[in-house]
Structure 1
């Protein structure tokens, strides 16, 4: 067993160790030495949660303080455990335990956390063993008690001193944040922009499989502490992303507020030095940073407006698949009649008597799209905070002379839109509950008739005519979600090439005949060319065959050759070369070289064999046809090479593939052997985007990512052709005005193209794909 628990005094632990182990201290550790028969003893100061690496290997980290010394942070070291050893230790290790690591590896540490410059690595695969001596609960005998370790001292890097490729500890004040949302891969993502006294901004993109383990940020102006955050450089700016061992604390940024941090970690340190840093940030924040958080109570509503509301949920109900109803109150009365959404009584969760009693103090809020899933898990009675809540005046079709307020939380995460549940201990939650307890519900103004009798029984169904200006996009972003949205008129007026995130509608697209959008693209010289049709291919083959009017079999050592009788042009004979790679090979496993075959003949043979390489005779050898024609056929798919970048070789170079025991006859391997730079099939389309502020033409050049279907097969596969037609009808429905078109959220980059007379600024769509449910 790689983990052994030893209970008793340090003497008992020492006697339990194998006699051949030599104990080493931190001052004796040196890179390059063998520690397979050595051990290190330390006290557990910090330990992380059990996680898994990208390859699925269990990973657990502990920080050990050298047992013989306890006065300096320099005598702590990170210890990384892998595999079964990590899983077992995650269940057994506690703070204050004495741990002996035997048979470890030593590696250079890349984390600038003030600990030892190296770290220990241990796993059961390399024969490591851990001896754990649990911390004694008794304090009566000094010899039986483990000394309480000091809190580690961390160093913090100012935001203007960050460097790409490092892992650091930082403090900052929240300038902007987006509530956690679910990514396409299943993880949850939190995007937060922080600043510090250096007036430097850092955008952090934090990921976690569990939404609840992400930093608990409630307001702009909160203060955060991030430990072990990785810094990378992108577009000339520094960014922060989660790394192994990432941990966070969040504080209220208000001067005089509690210093108790919000954390999801089981263990965290918070020293007097940390308190000083938080207090200094609070003072700087109050003097230098204006936080635009338009919080309001229901009694202060001045529509139309977007605002932040802290309230209690008294009822909830599912309206339809993409909208959800919350009945909320904050103890004050809205000065205008508000929208009442019609739902069946049986579908409404909550205390019916309380809902009826509060009917003049509650408002109905409808949440759309991505907020529905989180709303379903809400508990009635929760204190929540809604961000960028929209309230506007609306008129009823049944009573056009009567206006009312509609409260809506539109779909998406733009402008920080979303909501969060405040913890019971949060200052604002405590204050609101205290205030709600003081509201006199027996007052006649609340318990009797409504203040708006003409609107008392007007319940509006949520129909298809509801304006949902921020409904979910029909496209999905695959990277850089931290970028803020930019209006098209801003992009048009900018002359500097850069990248943007936009939300717009597809007004028109070209070409209208979708099969014409498939082109051939060279990844090296970036040239584009058309895909030839059958008549053009036949013409090229005929011109090549004309120079070889009397074809004869060549002697090729790695091929079996024969003459193939063609059905075309009388008794024309076509040389065929079967590449040998087995004593008994099936035709469907065979690759053949074909000299002078027409397109229809190649297509017939390609149904029988694995692949066909069209060739022609050149003196005593075979060579590829002109690269205007495909160098390889596989089924109905043709593979082309770039005429500018390729340096074709004779067919004899295929012998290196044929000589392999299990040769790979894929297009890439064949192209490499023949000196061909293969072209890739791409979709090339022009989209005219419009967001109401302006319109621009953006080009889409994509192999498979955007439509999620391969461009190489669209020309020959009728199913893919129908899928593409259906997708484009969803993106750009016919005969609809701009208001009825769906939203596309996408990234575009601007770039200059030079021609003979001028430079032209163009735009290209990238890192965008069509949503799965479109």
Structure 2
């Protein structure tokens, strides 16, 4: 068998090898040497997915680290496996396994990024054999989180020594973070700022389709360990981004707390050296209290203020389409009379007896907008932490002498605003649970203040206000909830520029044909243009196809070329350049191609097979973009255009650096950046006529995907998105309805002047607003 999987003690591996084999180390791997009776041993630190070469041969790549005397990435080597052996390896080999490879060839690498200039190649056709030593299934259960049996040594880079363009391992203390939130796409995002003893600061932006796969950070002062994080330069400063192979561990930053890593991985390394690093960082955090925030109890509240609250959830209920109620307590008593939100009894979840028993110790917190979905999923009885919670004093209408406190978790993620669920084993949750168990709920000091006539007046006045304000709104505000609602009549007489919060109804909108609302917009010069039609694009492509390609530009260092004659047409040749990665062709679904001489129907046909297509033309010495009036990139049915005014196109050779990356994504943004293109954005452009009873106002909507929660880039090619948009607009502005029957639309608008050579026009535009989930 060319692949043998072994389990048990490391002694099993040693006794399974043929006696004639001698181990060869890194320093003795030399080109031209005979390795027939030798073996190389190492630990798998990374493996790529199985792919196929241009001739259909299965191919599998492994990054192996020498098991002994390995202290840095310099002691890793690429293993290339071909044929049936590659397919078997892809099924059996995992990160952390120990590999012994025999019958290999040491081959010079053509990849300039290879650390050594050579790699190992194996195939069952040349009698290669691989022994895989993995953990016994009897030593762990599926639910266990365990360290790797053989821990490769890692080098950790201080934050003040980070350099753009590198992939590093690091330790740091959390200075600031945003709990995971839904990004503009489908992924969850978390932003983490870390510091260390070098006094440097490093901002990391991490994405994952699974919220729970992002680092489990509970507070500032936690300690994180990031493996294989990419360092890139953005806006003049270096930042970190997670990529393929990224992994994270998180630790409580409190001195004396158990050193237990939080992770979703089943396999990770953790050595005595790691423990020492964590303990040293804990001591440093304790000596630098500015790196962590002190806890705030309800009894410590001094409004107005924003603070973090650790509490237990005792009840929850829907308030309206864009807000949600959480009833919480932390065992202490708020020193101010607090706001009690009116909800239907049937809507309130929780133990009614306990809620009534705790009514003078609980506070009502209203959760808004993008945090509502997570609030709905919380289990009553769970321990949670709310970040950037807003406490402010309020008076009922007409009663300025009476005040009460309100608690709001506004929409958006500014200042780390969000919610985190704390496991019961987390230090703060354990301490809170012990404290809550000790609270005497029958103590006489907790008087029933709400029974007094004074507070009956507060709740009566507040109830009238809430009944009016909590009428269902079809929109959600994603930020700036501290702004009060302003009447449209007041806005018409206000200074310019300014931002407002309005609550109004949609009388009418333009264009009525919704597909006409999608335009192309340049974020740099604010150019707004129509989307070119297929006939217009095909005309440009056909004219360009009459030019012959330059044969001297075929088969360059980072692409292979193929030429064929078009069907049913004379004297038209189509040239396709297949971009390579690691000197190899990728699978069609992962690859980028450059096309010369192709017309629209041919490009559309190829786009169904290849990940990305760029139309190009030949010059005397390079391949360049075809024409600014056609897309610079096709990806499936999507067309991506560049701004002809702001772009500074570069030749296709600029893509070679992107092709050399560890895992080139070939997305439109990466291609645009490499080629000097400023991409145009697909946006909805509409005019709304709003009416709140005090006046009417024309406001404009220009939005990519936030307002409708539908990507403008795809609405023209997706029937489901088109139907959803029509349904939303029929809900916002149903035909044949009186103004009183229309739903409320709450939104932010900003006023500004648009100037040209002859006149100045006052405009109003919607921002930081989106349609509610249940519309």
Is the pair's TM-score, using the shorter chain for normalization, greater than 0.5?
yes
Q: Distance in 2 between matches of 1:259 and 1:110?
A: 41
5 Å matches for 1:225-304? 225-255=225-255, 257-282=257-282, 284-285=284-285, 290-291=290-291, 293=293, 295-304=295-304
Q: Deviations over 1:294-335 (max 9, x none)?
A: 742111222222111010112223334432222111001112
- Number of the residue aligned with 1:665: 599
* Inter-CA distance 772–24: structure 2 relative to 1 (3 Å threshold): farther
- 1:211 pairs with 2:204: no
Q: Distance in 2 between matches of 1:393 and 1:85?
A: 66
- Number of the residue aligned with 1:388: 388
- Number of the residue aligned with 1:340: 340
Q: Distance in 2 between matches of 1:137 and 1:674?
A: 58
Query: Following TM superposition, by how much is the alpha carbon of 1:378 offset from its aligned partner in structure 2, in angstroms?
Result: 1.9
- 1:349 pairs with 2:349: yes
SS in 2 for 1:393: strand
- Number of the residue aligned with 1:679: 629
Query: Following TM superposition, by how much is the alpha carbon of 1:679 offset from its aligned partner in structure 2, in angstroms?
Result: 2.8
Q: Which moved more, 1:338-347 or 1:199-208?
A: 338-347
Q: Distance in 2 between matches of 1:59 and 1:651?
A: 40
- Number of the residue aligned with 2:583: none
* Inter-CA distance 247–396: structure 2 relative to 1 (3 Å threshold): same
5 Å matches for 1:552-631? none
SS in 2 for 1:361: coil
Q: Distance in 1 between matches of 2:358 and 2:526?
A: 68
Given that 2:704 and 2:713 are in contact with CA atoms closer than 8 Å, whether structure 1 keeps it comes out as: no
Given that 1:22 and 1:39 are in contact with CA atoms closer than 8 Å, whether structure 2 keeps it comes out as: yes
- Number of the residue aligned with 2:182: 182
Q: Deviations over 1:234-260 (max 9, x none)?
A: 222111111232222223344555544
Query: Following TM superposition, by how much is the alpha carbon of 1:262 offset from its aligned partner in structure 2, in angstroms?
Result: 3.1
Query: Following TM superposition, by how much is the alpha carbon of 1:703 offset from its aligned partner in structure 2, in angstroms?
Result: 14
- Of 464, 469, 473, the residue aligned with 1:465 is 469
- 1:361 pairs with 2:366: no
Q: Distance in 1 between matches of 2:400 and 2:270?
A: 60
Q: Distance in 2 between matches of 1:530 and 1:74?
A: 49
Q: Distance in 2 between matches of 1:10 and 1:154?
A: 22
- 1:420 pairs with 2:416: no
- Number of the residue aligned with 1:436: 436
* Inter-CA distance 125–329: structure 2 relative to 1 (3 Å threshold): farther
Q: Distance in 1 between matches of 2:417 and 2:18?
A: 60
Q: Distance in 2 between matches of 1:190 and 1:460?
A: 38
Count of residues in correspondence between the two structures: 596
Q: Distance in 1 between matches of 2:281 and 2:207?
A: 26
Query: Following TM superposition, by how much is the alpha carbon of 1:272 offset from its aligned partner in structure 2, in angstroms?
Result: 4.6
Q: Distance in 1 between matches of 2:32 and 2:301?
A: 69
Given that 1:650 and 1:674 are in contact with CA atoms closer than 8 Å, whether structure 2 keeps it comes out as: no
Query: Following TM superposition, by how much is the alpha carbon of 1:373 offset from its aligned partner in structure 2, in angstroms?
Result: 2.0
SS in 2 for 1:742: strand
Query: Following TM superposition, by how much is the alpha carbon of 1:230 offset from its aligned partner in structure 2, in angstroms?
Result: 0.9
Query: Following TM superposition, by how much is the alpha carbon of 1:26 offset from its aligned partner in structure 2, in angstroms?
Result: 3.2
* Inter-CA distance 296–124: structure 2 relative to 1 (3 Å threshold): farther
SS in 2 for 1:353: helix
* Inter-CA distance 665–324: structure 2 relative to 1 (3 Å threshold): same
Query: Relative contact order: is structure 1 or structure 2 higher (C-alpha 8 Å, sep ≥ 6)?
Result: 2
- 1:198 pairs with 2:198: yes
Q: Deviations over 1:174-223 (max 9, x none)?
A: 22211101224322211111223333322101122222222121222323
- 1:742 pairs with 2:676: no
Given that 1:327 and 1:365 are in contact with CA atoms closer than 8 Å, whether structure 2 keeps it comes out as: yes
Q: Which moved more, 1:673-682 or 1:196-205?
A: 673-682
Query: Following TM superposition, by how much is the alpha carbon of 1:453 offset from its aligned partner in structure 2, in angstroms?
Result: 6.0
5 Å matches for 1:675-714? 677=627, 679=629
TM-score (ref. length: structure 2): 0.58
Given that 2:370 and 2:478 are in contact with CA atoms closer than 8 Å, whether structure 1 keeps it comes out as: no
Given that 1:58 and 1:86 are in contact with CA atoms closer than 8 Å, whether structure 2 keeps it comes out as: no
Given that 2:477 and 2:770 are in contact with CA atoms closer than 8 Å, whether structure 1 keeps it comes out as: no
Q: Distance in 2 between matches of 1:183 and 1:279?
A: 34
Given that 2:255 and 2:283 are in contact with CA atoms closer than 8 Å, whether structure 1 keeps it comes out as: yes
TM-score (ref. length: structure 1): 0.58
- Number of the residue aligned with 1:88: 91
SS in 1 for 2:371: helix
Query: Following TM superposition, by how much is the alpha carbon of 1:362 offset from its aligned partner in structure 2, in angstroms?
Result: 0.9
* Inter-CA distance 47–299: structure 2 relative to 1 (3 Å threshold): same
Query: Following TM superposition, by how much is the alpha carbon of 1:503 offset from its aligned partner in structure 2, in angstroms?
Result: 9.5
Query: Following TM superposition, by how much is the alpha carbon of 1:226 offset from its aligned partner in structure 2, in angstroms?
Result: 1.2
Given that 1:412 and 1:472 are in contact with CA atoms closer than 8 Å, whether structure 2 keeps it comes out as: no
SS in 2 for 1:444: coil
* Inter-CA distance 419–52: structure 2 relative to 1 (3 Å threshold): farther
Q: Distance in 1 between matches of 2:122 and 2:768?
A: 42
Q: Distance in 2 between matches of 1:354 and 1:180?
A: 31
Given that 1:171 and 1:224 are in contact with CA atoms closer than 8 Å, whether structure 2 keeps it comes out as: yes
Q: Gaps spanning 5+ residues in structure 2: where?
A: 140-147, 484-497, 504-508, 550-564, 575-596, 605-614, 620-625, 631-640, 642-679, 688-698, 734-738, 758-764
RMSD over equivalenced CA pairs, Å = 6.7
* Inter-CA distance 445–423: structure 2 relative to 1 (3 Å threshold): same
SS in 2 for 1:202: strand
* Inter-CA distance 771–63: structure 2 relative to 1 (3 Å threshold): farther
Q: Deviations over 1:635-662 (max 9, x none)?
A: xx587879xxx99998999x98833599
Q: Distance in 2 between matches of 1:149 and 1:298?
A: 46
